[in-house]
Structure 1
Amino acid sequence: MAQTHEWMFYEVMWRSWAGRAQVPYPVPWWAQQAFRRWSDDFDAGTYDSKEAAFASNALYRYWNMVGVKDHRQESLIGQAGEIEPVYDKYCLSFFLYDPATGALRLPQLPDTGSVEQRMEAPHLPVVLTTFRTPEDVEFVQRTFATPVGPRRRDLVVTRVTVGSPTGQPREGLLCAALMPAGPSGFQRHDRNGRQITDRRLTYLRHLPDEQRVETNSGWGPVFDTAPDQYGVYGNPDFSLDPDSYVAHSPFHDLVTGGKLNGAVEAQDQVAGSCSAVFGWPFRVAEDEVFEIDVRLPVDLFSGPADLAELRATPAAELESANRDFWTAKLLGQGLQPQLPRTVGHLTGLFRQARSQLLILSDRGEIHPGPTVYDSFWIRDSSVEATACSLVGDSALAETQLGTHYPLKFNLGGGHIGPCAGYGFYGGPHEKDDHEWDSNGQALWAIGRFDRTSGTAAPFGAKLYVPYVRDAARWIRDNRDGYGLLHQGWSAEHLGERDKRHFWDDFWALAGLYEAARLAERIGAPEVPELWGAFDDLKRATGDAIRWVLGEQRSRGAWETYIPTGPDDVGRLDSTLIGAAAYFHPLRLHMGSKLGDDVDRAARFTLDTMYAHFVTGGYRHEAAWNAYGPYLTLQLAHAHLLAGDPARMDELLGWVVGAGFPETAGRPAALGAWNEQHAFPIASDFTEVPYRHWYMGDMPHGWAAAEYLLLIRDILFFEADEDHDPHVYIAPGVRPHWVPAGERVAVDAAPTLFGEPFGYRLTHDPVARTVTVDITQAPERVRFVYPCRFGAVRSAAADGRQLAVTGNDVQIPAGAWQFTVSYD
């Protein structure tokens, strides 16, 4: 049964949306999508009523984000410019009012004006929202997050300018609305009371002398310019009638009476739906603009001294400092991919994904999302930290792996399900859901970072005992009677929690491999022991996969595929995606670590997945009933490493489009990815599944990390680091990416060899020649150039002819230039 505030919120939203012709109301974008194709088939396993599911915004979790690097709290930006500081109890948005006609123009409503939204630049986490009314009045809202004052506390600044695009004189009222619900929803919780995000606004007070607002017990917006008009609204009569909320609102008062109530304080102990509107009169013409600045405290501020500190720096200086920081960080530091103009947008998204990971870092912990996933997972963070280290944000990766991973290492006794507690990497997530992949992921990430850091920074040696050795022993000692990891729920996209999943075994193998190699590099005495653990798990995993494949053949299966685990023989559904990890990120195919037959089966599994579950992106109907953007990136990366760059390119193209979805001509997001991309949004509502679907957080840190890793490996990737170290140059660069006169380049890129790498590639389509200049290279590392332009005719390195056998041109270590001619 719905709680009172959930029921009231649903009714007020629906009645406001249905009656918008009489009194416009700022119904959030996500609520409009729910009303566009309403279904009573909510997720009854999570929510106890349709109103609870609606108030939680369970279906359309799309928004944009601003934040400060390494600070705890992010702020969401809605499709109409709404600002929601994640852990505060309000949302702030802007609109226009014409006192002469009584017209309200709200950017949330398509019929009151046009909205355009974009990032100021790919490397700048600044959201620009432009709203233009039919009367040719326009406001532009620039929103960013920045530290302020000597204590560098977090603040969101939004700067709003009103102008006349045609130059004709225009006047009216610029208004700011303060509401409880924002882009993320109203109140999110499940049946057990977990995952609570309570945005009820039960008390609201405007302090005119201080030009600020109090929301519940916290600070709300602070105005640089005092509003000329204001009104604060609540439910003083404790009414249980939803119509009283519709009628007793600032929007109703403006439409029917032309003014606000002038109150400075209100309560609503029924539905937690207090609201307020503040207004500034403007008159503009030609080159004139009217401007206000509003500051939203994100960190804790309290008292007159804090208010003075919050206001001390002019907004223009804060905006300039924010621009300078991100420009220096993302354009001046780290990996700088240089791609031709035809695919220059990939570089822009690369920088945007970097900024998202840096913003999602909370003092060195990278969290996979700003709201429901604002927490630390070993699984997600292992990929995120590795991506950061390989694109140049090594300090963040070192803090996460060197400081926060040891804090998640269990040193006590006892048991977690069927496994020992000591030596297990994990906090509440990993323990409660039996996420047995976490030890392999921690070992893999630590080992990869140790390689990238190089011998001058003995990172792995500092963690070896107990955090590497004993974590590897935990994998050795905590397996079932068949030698596999126990049943669990390492990731919900794999299937049920009462099953075993090869995903866990793949990660454990990769982790044991890295642990053994690390032991070799530092000369530890446990090298034979660790290789023994690796070989034993390799045998058990290989035997289980061969048994499954044999069973499927005996049942008449004509397609070869590795299902999610040994308990799912014959299960041909989208949980197959777990097998993509065999290639990426684990690279178990390099050296056929599980044998040539398993390697072939894994390659066939990629084909099976592509044939059955790819329609643009990867459709994960078995678990989510939605597209999986980061799963699509994993599959694209697997195809790249398996030698199929054409499929990689197709999947990458879909993912890029998924970062800029639109519905009814309005953008839903600006280059960020969800954990799940809803079928209705992906298709502009041409496909609306009957049964409910699942929506996670956005932007998704794991997805951002996958994108960084894919673009980096498209440009180059390492192979056989321990025996015959070599680098594949431009393995994913497609022929149509490089027209004449353009180039592909990488400078000072971190590598798993602990030394930087760089090159320049140019293409002469007339002479049918590719030229590559090596600008930096690790010692004793050779190169492979897999030519994608045509059949290789000849090749030369530093003026010497090279033997040509196929399209993978082998270039010796120490070469500084090579040319390849093709037919």
Structure 2
Amino acid sequence: MWLKWLPWKLFISKAAKRHGFLDPISLWSYFQRFAQPSEVAGPMELVRASAMFHARGLINSRAIPQNSDWVWPWWVHRQFNPAEEAFIPRAFSLTYINLTERNWTAAGLPGYDYLPIVDPTGLVTPHWDGWSIDFWLVDSKGNVMAPSRRREDVQQRLFYGKDIAVATRFSPDGHKLLSTMNVELQDGVPQCAIRLRGSMSEEGYIAASVRPCNSEGISFVHEIAFKDGRTWKINSKDTINFETPADVSLGSKYEQGDVANQLTSKGGQDHVLCDVGMANAAALFKIEPGKQREIKINIPLEPRKHHEKKRITYQANAREDDWGRAVGDYCRVSIPDKRKQYLYENAIRTLLLHATDEEVFPGPFTYKRFWFRDASFILHAMLCANFPKRVESVLATYPDRQMPTGYFLSQQGEWDSNGQALWIIYKYWKMTGRKLSGDMIRAVEKGANWICRKCTSSKGDKAHTGLLPAGFSAEHFGPNDYYYWDDFWAVAGLRSAAEMMEAQNEAELSNKYSQKAAAILKAIDASLEKAHQRLGTRAMPVSCNRRLDSGTVGCMSAGYPCQVFESNDERLLATAEYLVEHCLHKDGFFLDISHSGINAYLTLHIAQVLMQAGDERHGMLADSISRLASSTGQWPEAIHPRTEGGCMGDGQHVWAACEWVLYLRNCLVFEDTSDSELVLGKGIRKDWCREGEKITIGPAPTLWGEVRVAFEFGDDKVTVSLDEDFSGKRPQVVVDIPSYERTYVEEGQKRTVVNKAGT
């Protein structure tokens, strides 16, 4: 306790000034003045992650610039080359970070959290945040043809069937090298399986090279041990197994440079030691002119860190070695736009790939951890895609994840998580009809009570009166403030809790939560009215203290997915209009704050609001996101406006994938909870309505039960076939295809003919 009485701030300030540094105490004081006072200045988890991120960037700044003769990952060649559009000057930058080409694709097995990644030129990183293995062609003189240096000769695709495999085709100067990576079980052990197939018009080699780096930068390799040309040991813990012995094995350490510049040497060493941590090696496999050679490499994916630990499965079939069985009877979508359908199929598998029996990950690398926020969206997409058991498995962990106070904590200072947790529990309960456990009911009660306690006082007439406190919110809105995003989620969560408690015959709690939800909504309305008077527009700022900016995208949550406001609410539509008019780049939403890139999932939030309001511009936004997907059908968290590579977050962002699933699903089937309507075809586009076209979806779980729907288009009409399996009270079912008459479907009506409007 006595430490608290010491004048630490004075000591620190005096020491800094004595050595000629800025006073950090004064600087921190000014830093905080840009934010609203909050109990948490910033999530320690985010500070810790940023510190690790920039620590690597500091190492990158020491390792990369003076070693331009090394074969580096694709992002380094792009970002450090002044002739490239992705070039970034580094004059006063202390850390060098991948800000232009954050793209990668994971492979794996259903239910396992081993997720090797492949970058756009075929660099494989088998273990989380570890070293990588690259593949080159080498001519007889030792000249290296590396895909990362010749991106124009590289093509990459994702294939799925029994496996998920990333295939990279490299075709330089008439030579060919095909590398595929997938994960498979061998004697019960998950293996990163790499298959190489190459041919050359002259004598040469296929090279498989261990690299002390990955898609974020340097990843230290201190030791490489060679055993009989078939087995390599990396850092005494990781193993690479070659099915056939290499013809030549070569190693190098930092002082000697890149092994890529020493491929004409004879080799012969049995290990490489490097104190700097830049050991690298190459296995060479000889190719005869005009002949094809195949090489198989297996890398056991043993548990190495807390990110990769063996788990006890919640359900017997949580883990699979066959993707065909894993996807099972998922919600299939068939639309005329085959590019968008391909992205839907990829997104379905991305969801399952990043789900274990205990958690879901927003990404395989940068974001390989659990957040309640991301989980709410991902689990909702999995529910809509008809994976209820997998959702149940993850939700079963929620009571244990909850703090004793009732707080569903992901990061301190974020107040949206409780509303999101209650909302997704409710969605599961309604969409599956399954009874909630006693532990889950208690978690719902504790979580709802936490929201009730957390709100600021309803007394007074401040802009934030009755709202949740200032906080960091969803990280991409700016400094701590009273963000409406948190409040919309609080309303949605409390409404969900009220209905769940009503079903438990807990009338008192149900009334309490309903009344609190109404009170928060009243506070939101009053705060927005003050904002209207201050700004002169019905468009909603992101917080009660801000002007309109790109952060206002957070207010889309009032319409999608929370449905706190009706789809035609003036404030919601004015906000969407502002975002479309002022915040689009290449027809995608550009977020100035934090991400500084085109954001796929937030673009689709705007598209959902426009689509549900009957605004056809939702298709323009979806077209942009479709075009910006990588060749493997993935999106990074944010997309560089010039290079169109990733500039923020994980290079395979699962939240983006889940929004694509939800967008296409809602275009065909969505619940309008304000009117208790199941709406069919609201997002069907005019170019999908040509005569002879057929659109289908199903089995599609909804809040009222499961449906299968088919739309068959004629010259001036569409025949809608509905196979419904509702439980409880049947909703109003309405066909609401743009340019067609709005038509209700009666119970038991299997086929409904809907005419074009005006015919």
Which TM-score tier does this pair reach, normalised by the shorter chain? 0.7 to 0.9
Aligned twin of 2:300: 297
Cα distance in structure 1, aligned partners of 2:687 and 2:129? 48
Superposed counterparts of 1:469-484, under 5 Å: 469-481=445-457, 482-484=465-467
- Mapped pair 1:29 → 2:74: yes
Whether the aligned pair in 1 keeps the contact of 2:184 and 2:321 (CA below 8 Å) is no
Structure 1 pair 643/13, CA: closer, same or farther in 2 (3 Å)? same
- Mapped pair 1:650 → 2:620: yes
Q: Which runs of 5+ in 1 are unaligned?
A: 20-24, 43-48, 187-198, 236-243, 302-321, 412-421, 554-558, 661-668, 685-692, 793-806
Cα distance in structure 2, aligned partners of 1:41 and 1:294? 38
Secondary structure in structure 2 of the residue aligned to 1:618: strand
Cα distance in structure 2, aligned partners of 1:63 and 1:337? 26
Q: Which runs of 5+ in 2 are unaligned?
A: 1-20, 22-52, 305-318, 458-464
Cα distance in structure 1, aligned partners of 2:54 and 2:366? 21
Find 1:232's aligned residue among 245, 251, 273. 251
* TM-score normalised according to structure 2 size: 0.84
Cα distance in structure 1, aligned partners of 2:239 and 2:526? 60
Cα distance in structure 2, aligned partners of 1:12 and 1:375? 28
Deviation readout 1:280-337 (Å, 9 max, x if unpaired): 112264xx53111001122249xxxxxxxxxxxxxxxxxxxx998223333x421011
Cα distance in structure 2, aligned partners of 1:388 and 1:149? 30
Find 1:441's aligned residue among 420, 436, 442. 420
Aligned twin of 2:517: 534
Whether the aligned pair in 1 keeps the contact of 2:399 and 2:440 (CA below 8 Å) is no
Aligned twin of 1:250: 259
- Mapped pair 1:672 → 2:634: yes
Structure 1 pair 6/624, CA: closer, same or farther in 2 (3 Å)? closer
Superposed counterparts of 1:370-389, under 5 Å: 370-389=364-383
Structure 1 pair 94/232, CA: closer, same or farther in 2 (3 Å)? same
Cα distance in structure 1, aligned partners of 2:501 and 2:57? 56
Structure 1 pair 69/231, CA: closer, same or farther in 2 (3 Å)? same
Whether the aligned pair in 2 keeps the contact of 1:338 and 1:745 (CA below 8 Å) is yes
Cα distance in structure 2, aligned partners of 1:124 and 1:345? 21
- Mapped pair 1:508 → 2:508: no
Whether the aligned pair in 1 keeps the contact of 2:157 and 2:167 (CA below 8 Å) is yes
Whether the aligned pair in 2 keeps the contact of 1:142 and 1:158 (CA below 8 Å) is yes
What is the aligned-residue RMSD (CA, Å)? 2.7
Aligned twin of 1:329: 326
Cα distance in structure 1, aligned partners of 2:657 and 2:589? 17
- Aligned-residue sequence identity (percent) comes to 23
Find 2:684's aligned residue among 708, 711, 733. 733
- Mapped pair 1:355 → 2:306: no
Superposed counterparts of 1:563-602, under 5 Å: 563-568=541-546, 571-590=547-566, 599-602=569-572
Whether the aligned pair in 2 keeps the contact of 1:560 and 1:604 (CA below 8 Å) is yes
Aligned twin of 1:89: 130
Cα distance in structure 1, aligned partners of 2:156 and 2:163? 14
Aligned twin of 1:640: 611
Find 2:88's aligned residue among 39, 53, 57. 39
Superposed counterparts of 1:788-799, under 5 Å: 788=738, 790=739, 792=740
Secondary structure in structure 2 of the residue aligned to 1:520: helix
Deviation readout 1:26-62 (Å, 9 max, x if unpaired): 22111122113543468xxxxxx735x32x4344311
Q: How far has the Cα of 1:128 moved from its partner?
A: 0.9
Q: How far has the Cα of 1:735 moved from its partner?
A: 1.6
Look up the equivalent residue of 1:217 and give its one-letter code.
S
Secondary structure in structure 1 of the residue aligned to 2:296: strand
Find 1:606's aligned residue among 572, 576, 579. 576
Superposed counterparts of 1:132-151, under 5 Å: 132-134=171-173, 136-150=174-188
Whether the aligned pair in 2 keeps the contact of 1:502 and 1:578 (CA below 8 Å) is yes
Whether the aligned pair in 1 keeps the contact of 2:110 and 2:320 (CA below 8 Å) is no
Cα distance in structure 2, aligned partners of 1:173 and 1:57? 31
Aligned twin of 1:268: 274
Cα distance in structure 2, aligned partners of 1:783 and 1:89? 52
Structure 1 pair 299/491, CA: closer, same or farther in 2 (3 Å)? same
Whether the aligned pair in 2 keeps the contact of 1:512 and 1:530 (CA below 8 Å) is yes
- Mapped pair 1:560 → 2:538: yes
Look up the equivalent residue of 2:471 and give its one-letter code.
G
Find 2:475's aligned residue among 488, 492, 496. 492
Look up the equivalent residue of 1:530 and give its one-letter code.
Y
Cα distance in structure 1, aligned partners of 2:116 and 2:90? 31
Look up the equivalent residue of 2:210 and give its one-letter code.
L
Secondary structure in structure 1 of the residue aligned to 2:726: coil
Aligned twin of 1:127: 166
Find 1:452's aligned residue among 404, 424, 431. 431
Secondary structure in structure 2 of the residue aligned to 1:451: helix
Cα distance in structure 1, aligned partners of 2:63 and 2:407? 48
Once the two structures are overlaid, the 10-residue window that deviates more, 613-622 or 499-508, is 613-622
Structure 1 pair 73/184, CA: closer, same or farther in 2 (3 Å)? farther
Q: How far has the Cα of 1:704 moved from its partner?
A: 1.3
Structure 1 pair 623/78, CA: closer, same or farther in 2 (3 Å)? closer
Cα distance in structure 2, aligned partners of 1:324 and 1:73? 13
Deviation readout 1:582-630 (Å, 9 max, x if unpaired): 111111124x8xxx9xx31121111111111012100111332211111
Q: How far has the Cα of 1:578 moved from its partner?
A: 0.5
Aligned twin of 1:241: none
- Mapped pair 1:66 → 2:107: yes
- Mapped pair 1:105 → 2:141: no
Deviation readout 1:710-733 (Å, 9 max, x if unpaired): 111011112238xx6431111111
- Mapped pair 1:763 → 2:736: no
Structure 1 pair 5/184, CA: closer, same or farther in 2 (3 Å)? closer
Cα distance in structure 1, aligned partners of 2:88 and 2:222? 30
Q: How far has the Cα of 1:262 moved from its partner?
A: 2.2
Look up the equivalent residue of 1:355 and give its one-letter code.
R
Cα distance in structure 1, aligned partners of 2:338 and 2:166? 20
Secondary structure in structure 1 of the residue aligned to 2:322: helix
Cα distance in structure 1, aligned partners of 2:454 and 2:749? 48
Whether the aligned pair in 2 keeps the contact of 1:78 and 1:183 (CA below 8 Å) is yes
Cα distance in structure 1, aligned partners of 2:171 and 2:373? 44
Structure 1 pair 817/252, CA: closer, same or farther in 2 (3 Å)? same
* TM-score normalised according to structure 1 size: 0.78
Structure 1 pair 472/653, CA: closer, same or farther in 2 (3 Å)? same
Aligned twin of 2:673: 720
Structure 1 pair 6/744, CA: closer, same or farther in 2 (3 Å)? closer
Aligned twin of 1:338: 334
Aligned twin of 1:196: none
Cα distance in structure 2, aligned partners of 1:536 and 1:782? 29
Secondary structure in structure 2 of the residue aligned to 1:679: coil
Look up the equivalent residue of 1:529 and give its one-letter code.
K
Look up the equivalent residue of 1:117 and give its one-letter code.
Q
Number of residues of Structure 1 aligned to a counterpart in Structure 2: 678
Find 1:409's aligned residue among 385, 396, 402. 402
Look up the equivalent residue of 1:812 and give its one-letter code.
E
- Mapped pair 1:545 → 2:528: yes
Cα distance in structure 1, aligned partners of 2:444 and 2:236? 45
Q: How far has the Cα of 1:441 moved from its partner?
A: 0.5
Cα distance in structure 1, aligned partners of 2:262 and 2:709? 65
Cα distance in structure 2, aligned partners of 1:358 and 1:567? 40
Cα distance in structure 2, aligned partners of 1:500 and 1:728? 34
Whether the aligned pair in 2 keeps the contact of 1:206 and 1:232 (CA below 8 Å) is no
Find 1:629's aligned residue among 575, 600, 606. 600
Look up the equivalent residue of 2:333 and give its one-letter code.
P
Cα distance in structure 2, aligned partners of 1:374 and 1:300? 15
Structure 1 pair 122/348, CA: closer, same or farther in 2 (3 Å)? farther
Secondary structure in structure 1 of the residue aligned to 2:216: coil
- Mapped pair 1:697 → 2:650: yes
Structure 1 pair 522/4, CA: closer, same or farther in 2 (3 Å)? closer
Q: How far has the Cα of 1:73 moved from its partner?
A: 3.0
- Mapped pair 1:430 → 2:386: no
Look up the equivalent residue of 1:717 and give its one-letter code.
F
